[in-house]
Structure 1
Amino acid sequence: MIDQLLADLPRARVFRAGVAGPGVDLDHDLLEPAQAAERVHEVLVLAATPADLRRVSTLHKLLPEARRVVVAVLDTPASHPAPVPTPTPAHRWRSLTDLRVHRPEDRVWVVDARFSAPTPAGRTVTATARAFAGHRLDVIAAPAAGIAGVGAADWRPGDPNATPAELTGPVPERVGAPGSDLVLRTLDESADWAGEETPIERPTLDAASWERLGRPGGAELPLSDPDVLSEPSMIPPVDERLVNPQGFVTTPSRGMASLAERDGRWSVVLDGRAVVTFAESGGVTDADVARLRQIRGLEIDWRRAHSGPLAAVRVLAGLAAAGVPLVAEAVPRWAGAIGPELVRLISQCPEISDDLGREEHSIRLRRAALRTHGVAARWEQLGAPSPAPPLVSVLLATRRTDMVGFALDQIARQRGANLEVVLALHGVPAGHPDVAPAVAAFDRPLTVFEAPASAVFGEVLNQAATRASGSFLLKMDDDDWYGPEFLSDLLLAHSYSGAQLVGTVPEFVYLSSIDVTVHRHQITEQITSFVAGGTILVERSAFQAVGGFRPLRRSVDTQFQEALQAAGGQIYRTHGLGYILRRGPAANHTWQEPIGTFLQRNRRQWRGFRPGALMEQAP
């Protein structure tokens, strides 16, 4: 495929990432920022995977102007949509004359843009990378960053606002202001810095290799002591927009594999064959993860040497963030940069032969990895100010006075999230003896109002939304069970999915009339068309854009989700292990599905109430 592209574009200046061949290797070749006058007729950008392309987008200012820009991604997981860029006048797309997006081979996508005047090639690259990530704004909650050195783009993947600089500085100014607020540079050996700011320094892959660490004078190398790599902030972050739990398979078709050294790199070995060989840098890509989804888990083989601790720890962090089950009897000291929680989870040797236990282990791994090794988290560790956590307004509407205390208890259990509650008493007085004590005992921000009994359900929810002040709205039901990480898991899924609405499906259902808990077959961790109404977390701006809920007595959740999708929004379904739907007689519910529906397509069922381990609730 590469040969064909080179033959079709013989005059193109070639840039590549994650790909061997001719042209400028943006991962290793240091370039000065492109001069305004530098123009070529054609630019060809080759990226091995969408994750590699996002790294190129961080360096887009280094690319010249051209009348034709071709971006080729050679290994794209099937879950990705067609990468159709969204041209905007602000990014000088006015001169666009032709745009073609096509797939010449399986897993290969090519974007071919032609312009009537020389146009920054980096704009096409960033728009294509943004398309692969769902067209969400690529914003990292941290100061404007300057980056310098080999592999520095790994620290700001998918951040077109970063400013590349020479290894010795300074960071170029932009529009009459300093080029960055915080500078990170990677080094092999000590080097002077010409800028006024003091850069954060991190070792390159070569500087942290076993060969460099063990040679005479190795202790003199900058940041080369293995103990220095004991902190997560010493390794590049995981690009969670592409390396995340999406696509997780709950019932894998293949057995356990080994994560072991092959030819100086870590590989996943199954039945003596390498299924995936990771990049020399240790960066895990979305294509790597897609090839591992049907594998039950990875047993880590620490016995043989590999390229170095930096690359090894990056592989572990990326796999954990994707929810790939990892197990090991112990974790060596040099791998401490994965963080204490991941060390504990990996080394406790969980039982993952059971599908449910395997998924619970995966969820614990991904929580720890994404919150420790995500891009925003990493820059907070480097000194960037922590943004205020978003406020979530929980919309709770009820007609049942006896369920108010139970529902508020479920909300009070939520941890790791900033929330308020808007309690809509639908035809119920606030002074009712079942309601008043429950309200008084609730110790979080709470707004209570009485909605007339004549109001329909959709109207009541909209009235609750007008009283909410959060940037997110969460609709919860009064009779369902919610694990303590339910809300924080939804927020985490929102951060990596890019969807405007996140929720889950009733994977676990307690059938109260027959005292049975069922675990249903459900596909989770995917873009979808529907989630359970009692789990809807939606951006407030998206809620307002579609006008809220329709004024209906029933089907308000379905109608709202259809309206959001019709307006161009996306819905993401995360795991269902933190939620249990309570199902009584159909007449007691707005969703009047017969009980027999919940006894079909079940993975297993138990007599009595059987919450899973992640619910952290006694039976």
Structure 2
Amino acid sequence: MRRLRTARLRHEAHELARRLTGGVTVRMTRWDTVEVSPTHGLRPRRYRLDDPQARRPVHAEVLRLDLPDAACLERLAGSCLLHGHVREVSLRIATMPTWLRGGLRPRGLARDTTAVSWRAVGSRLEVRLRWKSRRSVGDALDELCTTVLRPRRWEQTGGVVPTVDRTAWVRGSSTWPHGVLGDPPLDTSGPFPPLTTRTVEFRWPLVTALANPHGRRLVGTARRYSLRPDGDGVVLWTEAGDRVLSFHPRGSVEQTLVSPRWDKYAVVSLADDLPDTPFVDHVLAGLAACGVVMTSPSAAVRDRLAHRGHVVVDDPSTVDGPSGYQVSVAAARNAAIRHDPALRHTPLARLAAVGGTGSNGTGSNGEATPLSLPTVSVLIASKRPTDVMTCVRDLAAQTYPTFEVLLGTHGYTLDEATVADLRAHLPVPLRVVDVPADRTLGEVLGTLSRRADGELLAKVDDDDRYGPDHLTDLVVATRTSGADLVAKAARFVHLVGEGTTVDRTWAAVEAYDVTPAGGTMLLSRGVLQAAGGWSTSPRHVDADLLARVRSIGGTIYRTHGLGYVYVRHGGEHTWQADHAQLLDDGDVRYDGLPEAILTP
């Protein structure tokens, strides 16, 4: 009898182990809740991602993720709710935006990867990764997210690499995808310290790979909408009373914002009875990250919005023309910095510290350890010594906190007094490199790139004009777009001889794989090296680099054109276009150079 009972217990234990390790399926039931179901008949359990006590072990052969959209995947990974080990992860996403359905983009498959599949059918996406040996759930989700969402860790050569675990998530100090997902937690006494040991105000992180200004067209007067409560959710309405977007806790805010049915250059009026809940706050953060400016008939509501860091106007009609474009750009910039987990704990947070507890990454219990930003090396290949001081003054006003300037004097030499004057204007390091006149532009840029210390390289033309947020906008766009090279549009062209600035509104839209302005390109040293460096051709250096970045599978994103003006003197330029053509290209002309184009 004892043997039979022992055999039965062993059989039951084996069957239970088979059920537990055979497979686990994870589904989203609400924007903040997941349901975890073992494959073999055990009852599913639900977990809130923001519940400090929630933590689910997963030791299975296969982890299946059945999710409505990509934002759910990033939230699930960043929350570190699941821990354990799996041999295979299988993902099915019901709806993917077009700019993320372009194909498989793994950062680097592990050596023991035995199977990889990617299948896109319409808007649905299915991905499968399998390894020879078991991997931690954190590593598996990290690799999966990198393949699907293309999140970018800062390409830095030194500094803190924080560990991201469940504690970091519930304390509000999570920095995923910048941090390393720890499962089990990495040794915090070694190279992977926690970002902070103090509690920071918890805010739902925004998935800016979806909630971003992609497709925004800054032209004319902003579209007007109103946001009103509707049951458990909220609805965005047009002035004519048409329903545009419906946000409900059962769905994803970020995926709703992907819809092409609305204009991201907009002013949204909030109803007085809008509920003050985390879900509504997340909706407002997502709208702002797309470029939406807030307003309300109620002064109290406007004050509350401003206190929470939103860009607010009293009169919606003022969001018009260059000053209105700047307001929309500021709204998107502030929201990305405040709510993206890889940005909100960096020194950039001070730019978005409009008001409210935690607006600069701190809480009532103390300050979080600031996260390092990648250093930017600004490369200037100059043939015009008369333009250098104006360029340096524009760079001296930059809001981005960590950069250096490398000035290549192409065919001329600056005297010591002039160099000292330039250094006196700059709050960052300046290095001057003399390059012979017989060298091509690409050779000058190559020389500067080899001497640069920064992780990111920014090309700047000495005779163009740059606003104070130029570098910040490019770094933020690098994070939110996931592109290998980002740049601004050559939308605004100042013709010095005519005293006119042309607004080429056809270049207003923010998009992937369109031609950007060569004098605004930002890319990492790794991407530049993978593409083969700068061409030695005397012309078309920018177009050549863009073509070669595409040839290695890289993506290019053109963000807005604010804070940059292409200046045309009528002399020699690498971009060959006559004044008449530029004038004809412009839909709007301004006398002189309006300050609102450059300065917010």
Distance across 2 between alignment mates of 1:298 and 1:446: 41
Residues 329/125 of structure 1: CA separation in 2 closer, same or farther (3 Å cut): same
1:280: how far off? 2.7
Q: How does 1:481-492 map to 2 (within 5 A)?
A: 481-492=465-476
What SS does the corresponding residue of 2:446 show, helix, strand or coil? helix
Letter matched to residue 515 of structure 2: F
Partner of 2:432: 448
What do the CA deviations read for 1:385-433 (whole angstroms, capped 9, x no partner)? 2134433222222222322222222222323333322222222132399
Cα deviation 1:358-396 (Å, max 9, x = unaligned) = 432210111222222221344543644213443322222
Higher RCO, 1 vs 2 (CA within 8 Å, ≥6 residues apart): 2
Q: Deviations over 1:283-333 (max 9, x none)?
A: 731442434643653433332253x43332222222212212332244647
Q: Provide the rounded CA distance (Å) in 2 between the counterparts of 1:124 and 1:611.
A: 51
- Cα distance in 1 for partners of 2:568, 2:168 equals 58
8 Å CA contact 2:375–2:402 kept in 1: the answer is yes
CA contact (8 A) 1:60 1:125 kept: no
What residue in structure 2 maps to residue 403 of structure 1?
387
Equivalent of 2:206, from 213, 238, 256?
238
CA displacement at 1:452 relative to structure 2:
1.7
| Candidates 559, 580, 587, aligned match of 1:603 | 587
The equivalences for 1:526-537 within 5 A come to 526-537=511-522
* Alpha-carbon distance between aligned partners in 2 of 1:537 and 1:179, rounded to the nearest angstrom: 29
Return the offset for 1:576: 0.4
Rounded Cα–Cα distance in structure 2 between residues aligned with 1:289 and 1:154: 27
Report whether the alignment pairs 1:109 with 2:130.
Answer: no
User: Does the CA contact (< 8 Å) of 1:351 and 1:357 recur in 2?
Assistant: no
- Secondary structure, aligned partner of 1:46: strand
- SS of the counterpart of 1:290? coil
- Alignment of 1:304 with 2:285, yes or no, is no
Q: Tell me how far 1:259 sits from its aligned partner.
A: 0.8
Residue 152 of structure 2 corresponds to residue 133 of structure 1: no
Shift of 1:275: 2.7
Residue 262 of structure 1 aligns with which residue?
230
The answer for the alignment partner of 2:333 in structure 1 is: 367
TM (norm. structure 2) is 0.77
What pairs with 1:351-390 in structure 2 (closer than 5 Å)? 351=317, 354=320, 356-379=322-345, 380-381=361-362, 383-390=367-374
Separation of aligned partners in 2, 1:87 and 1:425: 37
Q: What is the alpha-carbon distance in structure 2 between the residues aligned to residue 299 and residue 131 of structure 1?
A: 34
Give the superposition deviation at 1:51. 0.6
- The 3-state SS of whatever aligns with 2:472 is helix
Retained in 1: the 8 A contact 2:540–2:574? Answer: yes
Contact persistence 1:17–1:27 (CA under 8 A): no
2:215 match? 247
Pair 1:555-2:540 in alignment: yes
What is the aligned partner in structure 2 of residue 4 from structure 1?
Answer: none
Residue 34 of structure 1: which of 57, 71, 93 is its match?
Answer: 57
Pairing of 1:490-501 with structure 2 (within 5 A): 490-501=474-485
Contact 1:146–1:183 (Cα < 8 Å) also in 2:
no
Structure 1 match to 2:462: 478
> What corresponds to 1:318 in structure 2?
286
Q: Tell whether the 8 Å contact from 1:55 to 1:156 is kept in structure 2 after alignment.
A: no
2:68 alignment partner in structure 1 = 48
Distance in 1 (alpha carbons) for counterparts of 2:267 and 2:330: 15
Distance 1:261 1:83, change over 3 A: farther
Provide the residue aligned with 1:278 in structure 2: 247
Q: Contact 1:503 / 1:574 at 8 angstroms: preserved in 2?
A: yes
Task: Report the alpha carbon displacement of residue 519 of structure 1 after superposing the two structures with TM.
Answer: 0.2
How does 1:326-365 map onto structure 2 within 5 Å? 326-330=294-298, 332=300, 336=304, 340=307, 342-343=309-310, 345-351=311-317, 354=320, 356-365=322-331
**Native 8 Å contact 2:406 2:448 kept in 1:** yes
Query: Is the deviation greater in 506-515 or in 18-27?
Result: 18-27
SS in 2 for 1:600: helix
Give the Cα separation in 1 of the matches to 2:488 and 2:562: 9
Change (3 A) 1:425 1:261: same
Residue 159 of structure 1 deviates from its aligned partner by 7.5
Task: Find the aligned partners of 1:113 and 1:52 in 2 and give their Cα distance.
Answer: 18
Give 1:119 shift: 7.1
Residues 143 and 176 of structure 1, relative CA distance in 2, 3 Å threshold:
closer
Q: Partner residue of 2:3? A: none
Contact kept in structure 2, 1:100 and 1:113, CA below 8 Å: no
Structure 1 Cα separation of the partners of residues 191 and 54 of structure 2: 17
> How far apart, CA to CA, are the structure 2 residues paired with 1:502 and 1:384?
30
Q: 1:205 — aligned with what? A: none
One-letter amino acid of the structure 2 residue matched with residue 276 of structure 1: L
SS of 2:237's equivalent? strand
Within 5 Å, give how 1:420-435 maps onto structure 2.
Answer: 420-431=404-415, 435=418
Quick one: distance in 1 between partners of 2:178 and 2:439? Answer: 47
| Equivalent residue in structure 2 for 1:78, among 88, 91, 98 | 98
Question: In structure 2, do the counterparts of structure 1 residues 375 and 137 end up closer, same or farther at CA, with 3 Å as the change threshold?
Answer: closer
Any idea what the Cα deviations from partners look like across 1:4-38, whole Å, max 9, x if unmatched?
xxxxxxx9743112569985545469764425xx4
The 10-residue stretch of structure 1 (78-87 or 520-529) with the greater mean CA deviation from structure 2: 78-87
Contact 1:71/1:125 (<8 A) preserved: no
Q: Quick check: 2:173–2:195 contact (8 Å CA) kept in 1?
A: no
Structure 1 unmatched ranges of 5 or more: 1-10, 165-171, 185-197, 202-232
Change (3 A) 1:558 1:392: same
Q: Is the 8 A contact 1:259 1:299 kept in 2?
A: yes
- Preserved contact between residue 256 and residue 295 of structure 1 (Cα < 8 Å): no
Structure 2 counterparts to residues 174-185 of structure 1, below 5 A? 182=194
1:173 deviation in Å? Answer: 5.2
Structure 1, residues 199-254: CA drift from partner, whole Å, max 9, x if none?
Answer: 738xxxxxxxxxxxxxxxxxxxxxxxxxxxxxxx3422323333222222335999
Partner of 1:573: 558
Q: Contact 1:260–1:268 at 8 Å: present in 2 too?
A: yes
Matched residue SS, 1:403: helix
Q: Partner residue of 1:221? A: none
Report if aligned partners of 2:392, 2:426 keep a CA contact under 8 Å in 1: no
Match of 1:564 in 2: 549
Q: Per the alignment, do residues 543 and 67 of structure 1 end up closer, same or farther by CA in structure 2, a change over 3 Å counting? A: closer
Cα 1:516–1:138 change in 2 (3 A) is: closer
Alignment partner, residue 199 of structure 2: 200
Letter in 2 for 1:459: E
Tell me the secondary structure at the aligned position of residue 360 of structure 1. helix
Structure 1 position 50, deviation (Å): 0.8
> What is the Cα deviation at residue 73 of structure 1?
1.3
Partner of 1:14: 25
Question: Aligned partners of 2:383 and 2:141: how far apart in 1?
Answer: 53
Residue 518 of structure 1 deviates from its aligned partner by 0.7
Measure the CA separation in 2 of the matches of 1:155 and 1:93. 28
SS in 1 for 2:71: helix
The more displaced of 127-136 and 360-369 is: 127-136
Deviation of residue 528 (structure 1)? 2.2
Change beyond 3 A, Cα 1:483–1:417: same
- SS of 2:74's partner is helix
What is residue 78 of structure 2 aligned with on the other side?
58
Residue 261 (structure 1) shift: 0.4
Q: Are 2:439 and 1:439 equivalent residues in the alignment?
A: no
* Per-residue deviation, residues 100-143 of structure 1 (Å, max 9, x unmatched): 4131xx42222255778877777665434322322645999763
Q: Give the direction of change, closer, same or farther, for the CA distance of 1:78–1:612 in structure 2 (3 Å limit).
A: farther
CA contact (8 A) 1:65 1:118 kept: yes
Q: How high is the TM-score relative to the length of structure 1?
A: 0.75
Higher mean Cα deviation, 154-163 or 476-485? 154-163
